[in-house]
Amino acid sequence: MPTILYYSPNFIRPIIPVCLAQYFKAGIECVDIATDMENFTKDFPLHKCPVLINRETGLYLTEAISIYNYIVKTFCNDPEEVKKLLGSTVLEESEILRWESLSVSDFVDREFNYLGPLLGFLPYDTDANLQAEKQFDVVAQIFEDHLKNNQYLVGSHITLADLCASGSFFFGFNFAFDENWSQQYPNITRWYKEVTKSPYVSNFFNDKKQAKAFPQPPK
Ligand SMILES: N[C@@H](CCC(=O)N[C@@H](CS)C(=O)NCC(=O)O)C(=O)O
């Protein structure tokens, strides 16, 4: 019985785990939850993706960060590459975890709270959306400031921090972050364009385009 990685094409956090499973030829079956809802719901009452399960061996993982860690450490055969992706010192590992956690928690939550109502995924309220915009700008500015002085989030090459964060920025770049937005956040944009070309994730990103226009409030 294969290990299953449940994802949904509509969700952000599973993007990079699916890319890694494919890149490392992990033999993991990536299953869209919509095609196996009964089993998914039975085993994962929180109803969130990504999750990893092998019903024969008992492997059971939830939380994107734990799944990145498992896939890289289990299926990457080159110890040097593992160190490059996950960090080679305690400080590097910790910094990578810092950016991964920020990306899959506060960043993506604020991004969705701000853009979701503009895109019709959530109800729109003018005051709440202004507040959500401010909240999002705070977290986006943390990335922008850091990337002004650093080519990557941690160290001098692409790490899992960059890959993970690129998945979280995808929602914005796909649906909202147009050229005007990029002028306000030039370092995020430069970094995103480079990281999304990385072979670890390029299969997913290579046919994706930057949004042409920022979504406007409903009339
Ligand atoms: N803490 C979890 C959060 C997972 C999560 O919220 N995933 C979203 C998709 S990006 C989800 O499954 N949402 C469905 C729902 O909330 O019902 C992690 O880091 O993986």
pLDDT digits (tens, 9 = 90+) for 81-123: 999 999 999 999 999 999 999 999 999 999 999 999 999 999 9
Residue 73 CA, ligand 1 centroid: distance in Å: 23
Q: In what order do the strands lie in the sheet with 60-62?
A: 29-32, 4-7, 51-53, 60-62
Q: How far apart are CA 85 and CA 93, in angstroms?
A: 9
pTM given for the model: 0.97
Question: Once rounded to an integer, what is the mean pLDDT over residues 190-213?
Answer: 98
pLDDT of 158 reads 98
What is the pLDDT of the chain when averaged over all its residues?
98
Flag whether pLDDT at 1 surpasses 90: no
pLDDT-based confidence at residue 194 (cuts at 50, 70, 90): very high
115 within 8 A of 215, measured Cβ to Cβ? yes
Pairing of strands 29-32, 4-7: parallel
| Ligand 1 mean position, distance from CA 88 (Å) | 29
- Mean pLDDT, rounded, for 37-56: 97
**pLDDT above 90 (res 216):** yes
Give the residue whose CA is nearest to atom 9 of ligand 1: 11
Check residues 219 and 68 and name the one with the higher pLDDT: 68
pLDDT of residue 156: 97
- The residue whose C-alpha atom lies closest to atom 11 belonging to ligand 1 is 48
Which among 215, 166, 219 has a CA at the least distance from the CA of 193? 166
Task: Determine the distance separating the centroid of ligand 1 and the alpha carbon of 114, expressed in angstroms.
Answer: 17
Confidence at residue 26, expressed as pLDDT on a 0 to 100 scale:
97
**Closest protein CA for atom 20 of ligand 1:** 63
Ligand 1 centroid to residue 140 C-alpha, Å: 20
